[in-house]
Amino acid sequence: MTIPTAILFPGQGSQESGMGRDLADADRDAMEAWKKAERISGLDLRAIYWEGDDKAMADTRALQPALTVVNLNLWRVLSGKVSPAATAGHSLGEYSSLAAAGVLHTDAVLELVSLRGRLMADADPDGKGTMAAVLKLSLADVESAVAEVAAATGEMIGVANYNTPGQYVASGTKAAIAALQDAVKLRKGRALPLPVSGAFHSPLMKEAAAEMAKALEKASWSPARFAVYPNVTGKATTDQRVLQRLLLDQMTSSVRWIDTIAGQYSDVVRRFVECGPKGVLSKMVKPILDARPDAPTPESYTVETVGSREQAEAFRG
């Protein structure tokens, strides 16, 4: 019997030194994908990610096309072995999910994520915005702290990522994020500044989103071959018009990953396969499902990470 499977694609934060090299060295098409991404982005992505300088690897201009290549090269190996019921990608990873579902062509996705990386890097030339992970607090406490800081400072701040019931990410001005650290500490939580170049998934990305809209409008869109769960809603759709609109909204809206995973489980997904390096998303599945009112037993679903050539080749659908 086929187990209903969701393919999950990671985003920024999942990069690592040497990612994707094992598959590219053994597969001509995988290597060509790297070369294509380098031509599109104008960056020497293989040197950056295969030689492993942390600062260079964190640059969103390089990271977005490079991680997308890794995700999609791994998916190309898996695609002949599994017929997914659903897919989703975390932030940047949503572009990989749209390629996997046949909504956007791979070449178009590489063009779009390269543009997205440049726009996001240039969206805050004065360095006004930043982000912080908020840990060990309930959603109510996180939202209370954010609202308190917004009222007290008059600065822009919001919840950018709803990752798990114990892990959220706030996005806003540097002044607001600094104040949030104090507000979180008072509530017995932790707020950890993130090494990012702007306040992503917030209104500070509005100008970048306006430029991105032009490129998304020019792209060729098709209905999804299986359900896609967009970050903005966490709800399944195959409608390319809805997916296009929500992909644009994603730049200035929150990533609702808790709703995404919970929604996939409610819609009968029982196997979660992360297609990308490091296994960041795989670690989020259990805490999300454990927080459901009808928390499923660990035996009722499986979670796997496919982040290397060896894992991709060993995968069984």
Task: Judge whether 59 and 15 are in contact, CB under 8 Å.
Answer: no
Residue 246 structure tokens: 């929500």
* Active-site option among 41, 91, 171, 253: 91
Query: Sign of torsion, CA 93 79 309 50?
Result: negative
Strands (E) in 23-101, as ranges, are 86-89
229: left (phi over 0), alpha (psi -120 to 50) or beta: beta
User: 105 catalytic, yes or no?
Assistant: no
* Adjacent-strand bridge partners of 157: 172
Cα–Cα dist 77/308, whole Å: 10
Residue 63 structure tokens: 């990271």
Query: Largest Cα–Cα distance of the chain, in whole Å?
Result: 56
* Active-site option among 96, 114, 201, 202: 201
- Rounded to the nearest 10°, the torsion over CA 102, 107, 110, 113 is -60
Cα–Cα dist 138/141, whole Å: 5
Report the amino acid identity of residue 160.
A
268: left (phi over 0), alpha (psi -120 to 50) or beta: left
Task: Judge whether 85 and 227 are in contact, CB under 8 Å.
Answer: yes
What is the chain's Cα-based Rg? 19
Residue 151 structure tokens: 């009222």
Q: Torsions phi, psi of 228, nearest 5?
A: -110, 135
Residue 141 structure tokens: 């406490």
User: 253 catalytic, yes or no?
Assistant: no
Q: What residues are annotated to the active site?
A: 91, 201
